[in-house]
Amino acid sequence: MKRKIMILGVTLLISFLLSLVFLSLMVGVEFSDISIYIERNPMLLILSFITIGLVLLTILFATGAFIQGEWNKEMLPIFLSTFFSLVFTFFILFSIRESIGDMDKKLLALLLIGLLGVNSVIHYLTSSVSFRERDLSKRRTLEEQRKGKTELYKEIIRNNDETRKSVHDFKNKLDVILTLIKDEEYKALKEYVNDVNDGLSNRLVIDTNNTVINAILNTKYREAMENGIHMIFKISDLKDIGIVDDDLVVILGNLLDNAIEGAKNSEEKTVRLKIDRDEESLIIGVNNTYSGEINRNLDRKKKGLFHGLGISNIIETVERLGGQYSISHDEEFSFTIILGVSK
């Protein structure tokens, strides 16, 4: 708090000194004689002080955002356009001051002060809008993560329950097998074992050596099966990849949500997921069949093609992690992501 007060005080002091210099230049008075001019025209000094203070505070606001890592690409053109408009306005009016009378110089100074003030206010307002948009995007991402993590925990609990049930069922089935062997009912034994094997074949359990990814993939696999979608997996060992759970939920959850939505209305209904890992990177590739046209902004032309917010969250998370991504939509919709991993 003390630091902020000190910065504000220094800013006001600099604003006052710059106001004196500004008025001296605009009205053509020597700096040493400016006090006499101010006694006759105190309002000009007040307006000049307020305006230059606004300009400096606006610059502090922008540079502070940059230093704190809150700067975004959308703010750059706003800041540059405002800055250059301030400079341009000042030099245009300053260059014509010699060709006008003393009375008009006062009006000129007032005009310049007004223009500088308006530009500063516009820059502040547009910057504030940009910050609010960024905060809204962050809140949306956090909400998406919260929902994804809630579903993830539910899936882990469901998997644990199914594991306990499977152990119990296995004991019962083993008892039946032992009884058939004891009674030498080999024909019945063969039929029973075949039935058990068929049941296991229809139940896919995906194990990547990563609990979070297992939960996501098994959940999305069951969802795909319910919609008649064929899923193909090719996945490496994903133990200790060094990516936090929230980011995995956002990236993988949204990737597969979009792929399932896209494939749901297509003829072939196919989703392919490939996750490769080497010493330095994790490569995630998702391909899915789809129907309908896709525009450049990845909005959906037909209902259910994919989720715009989901894709935005994926891209935002990948960029924050310093990763890369590519999107294509030829015969299939393809989304590829490359992330760094811990060694």
- List, in sequence order, the alpha helices (H) in 229-340: 245-248, 254-264, 308-320
Per-residue model confidence as pLDDT tens digits over 174-224: 888 888 888 888 888 888 888 877 665 555 568 888 888 888 898 888 889
Cα-only R_g, the chain: 33
Return d(Cα 214, Cα 116) in angstroms, integer.
59
Return d(Cα 70, Cα 314) in angstroms, integer.
19
Q: Minimal CA–CA distance to 232: which of 195, 263, 197, 200?
A: 263
pLDDT above 80 for 73 = no
What is the pLDDT at residue 67?
45
CATH level 3 topology of 205-343: Heat Shock Protein 90 (3.30.565)
Q: Are strands 281-288 and 333-340 parallel, antiparallel or unpaired?
A: antiparallel
Contact 262, 245 (CB under 8 A): no
What separation in angstroms does the CA of 207 have from each of 222, 228, 309?
14, 22, 29
What is the pLDDT at residue 86?
58
- What H or E segment, with its residue span, contains residue 42? helix 42-67
- Domain segments of the chain as ranges: 2-142, 205-343
Report the share of the chain in percent with pLDDT over 70.
Answer: 46
What is the pLDDT at residue 122?
65
Sheet of strand 324-329: strand arrangement: 230-235, 270-277, 281-288, 333-340, 324-329
Return d(Cα 52, Cα 39) in angstroms, integer.
20
Tell me the sheet residues that pair with 277.
282
For residue 305, name the pLDDT band (cuts at 50, 70, 90).
Answer: very low
For residue 267, name the pLDDT band (cuts at 50, 70, 90).
Answer: confident
With residues binned 3-state (H G I as helix, E B as strand, rest as coil), the percentages for the chain, rounded to 5, are: 70, 10, 20
- Say what the pTM is: 0.50
**Longest Cα pair distance anywhere in the chain, in angstroms?**
121
For residue 234, name the pLDDT band (cuts at 50, 70, 90).
Answer: very high
Contact 232, 272 (CB under 8 A): yes
pLDDT above 70 for 96 = no
